[in-house]
Amino acid sequence: MPVQDPVVIAGCGPAGAVLALHLAHQGTPVLMLEREPALPIDLRASTFHPPTLEMLNDLGVAAPMIAKGLIVDRYQYRDRRTGEVAEFDMSVIADETLFPFRLQLEQYELTQLIARVLQGHADAELRYSHEVTGFRQDSQAVTVRVESPSGTEEIRASYLIGADGASSRVRKAAGIEFAGFTYREKFLVASTEFPLEEVFDNLSYVNYIADPEEWCVVLRTDKAWRVLWPTDPDCPDPSAYLSDAHLQERLRRLHDRNGDYDIRHRCIYDVHQRVAETYCKGRVALVGDACHINNPLGGMGMNGGIHDAVNLGAKLTDILRGRADPQQALALYDRQRRGLAVRFIQQHTIANKALMESTDPNVQRNRQRTLMEKAADPVKAKSFIMERAMINSVRESCAVA
């Protein structure tokens, strides 16, 4: 590693990996510390929105991602009772972005790709089985405490970035509150290779399906179909939702096939809406789930974390080259990204969930009618997609001074 103290990043999820790549590209020394012995292969985010693809393109990794993933240029809001479909065609934003589509690809494909690109890079190093457990800082540096198989060590860093997910040790050690709430119900997810596209007419690869009894999201990744449902918050034993019998019954309600579905992955998880009270404290900053979490409807969590990483990467490079005042630059990062998380991501994801889950037939009818009107009108459809594709949010955040 070069002589300058590196930027230390706790966590090599999508946000930490993109920040590391951004810094290394600028010749800023970076040390990534990942708690796990290898990069986690968990099936979580699978949607990359257009501005995220533009940022990954600037970092040279969009093309291999696109080659691996599924290009989804239309998505649907379906009403299961009436069979009505509102389809949004993303070609209406072709004059606004190089990538007028959503890319469906597992998030671990991105972290693995970046780890490969950074291997052997002069300015970057990734250490596995290294868990950040605390830090102390002064005006010159941060001393990061790390646990690894060889014991406890202290590493000197120019800045410490908490990219260590929703339960961030860095955020907790910095004493930063994570205000918000947790929904009472959990979300249930199952993946299957059964070809749902063959049994539903004109099924898109991303579908939000309303139903007064049971709404769901049905989307395709590069590897399988994934279905997400809400669960009953009063269920005394939520783990029962993961049984074969329950999942087979739930999938059969979607499509009553002969025989069992192959279920290649299942999980149930708590859903939160929280934003950290600040994104920076001295020489410590947060990105991704460490500073904002939301329900997955709309696929904005990982995308927002990548947008944080690119914004912060540029500011850290300017600070370390003496081109920006550290306090002012980090305060601007906080205003641009935290303000946006509160105004945009939290509002949209809470509204997306409320819209899906209403059991009132009038609300459902109006919802479907409004969506179908929007989808049929190119001007309204464009405005709807610009918002959902996070293009407006990135532009708005960059405009904050």
Ligand X SMILES: Cc1cc2nc3c(=O)[nH]c(=O)nc-3n(C[C@H](O)[C@H](O)[C@H](O)COP(=O)(O)OP(=O)(O)OC[C@H]3O[C@@H](n4cnc5c(N)ncnc54)[C@H](O)[C@@H]3O)c2cc1C
Residue 259, classed as helix, strand or coil, is coil
Is residue 154 at the binding interface for ligand X, with CB under 6 A as the rule? no
Instruction: State the minimum distance, in angstroms, from the CB of residue 325 to ligand X.
Output: 27
Residue 286 makes contact with ligand X by CB under 6 A: no
Least distance from ligand X to the Cβ atom of residue 287, Å: 6
Q: Which one, 355 or 389, has the nearer CB to ligand X?
A: 389
Q: 285-313 burial, b if ≥16 CB within 10 A, otherwise e?
A: bbbbbbbbbbbbbbbbbbbbbbbbbbbbb
Query: Binding of ligand X at residue 185 (CB under 6 A)?
Result: no
CB of 115 to ligand X, least distance (A): 11
Q: Is 13 in the site for ligand X (CB under 6 A)?
A: yes
Q: Count residues near ligand X (CB under 6 A).
A: 35
Place of tokens 């800045």: 159
H helices of 244-390, in order, are 244-254, 301-320, 326-333, 339-340, 347-357, 361-376, 378-388
**46 part of the interface to ligand X, by CB under 6 A:** yes
**Residue 131 CB neighbours (<10 A):** 16
Q: Under the criterion CB under 6 A, does residue 12 sit at the interface with ligand X?
A: yes
- Name the residue type at position 99: F
| The two three-digit tokens of residue 211, written as one number | 């139903």
Of the candidates 291, 294, 293, 283, the one whose C-alpha atom is nearest the C-alpha of residue 336 is: 291
Question: Does the protein bind ligand X through residue 169 (CB under 6 A)?
Answer: yes
Q: Which residues does residue 273 pair with via DSSP β-bridges, in sequence order?
A: 181
Report the nearest approach of ligand X to the CB of residue 328 (Å).
25
Which residues in 248-277 contact ligand X (CB under 6 A)? 269
Considering only residues 189, 275, 297, 330, which one is a binding residue for ligand X as defined by CB under 6 A?
Answer: 189
Strands, sheet with 265-276, edge to edge from the N-terminal-most edge strand: 85-89, 74-79, 206-210, 216-220, 225-230, 178-192, 265-276, 292-293
Q: How far is the CB of 50 from ligand X (least distance, A)?
A: 13
User: Is 89 or 131 the residue whose CB approaches ligand X more closely?
Assistant: 131
Contact between 163 and ligand X per CB under 6 A: yes
Q: Which of 51, 100, 296, 326 binds ligand X (CB under 6 A)?
A: 296
How many helices (H) and strands (E) the chain has is answered by 13, 20
In the complex with ligand X, which residue's Cβ is closer, 241 or 364? 241
22 vs 35, which CB is nearer to ligand X?
A: 35
Q: What angle (nearest 5°) sits at the alpha carbon of residue 364, between those of residues 360 and 368?
A: 175
Backbone angles phi, psi at 139, to 5 degrees: -70, -15
Stretch that binds ligand X, among 33-41, 118-126, 357-365, 385-393 (CB under 6 A): 33-41
Segment interacting with ligand X (CB under 6 A) among 45-53, 316-324, 327-335, 372-380: 45-53
Q: What is the C-alpha separation between 332 and 280, in angstroms, rounded?
A: 10
Q: Name the site residues for ligand X (rule: CB under 6 A).
A: 10-16, 33-36, 40, 44-47, 107, 131-132, 163-165, 169, 189, 269, 288-290, 296, 299-303, 305
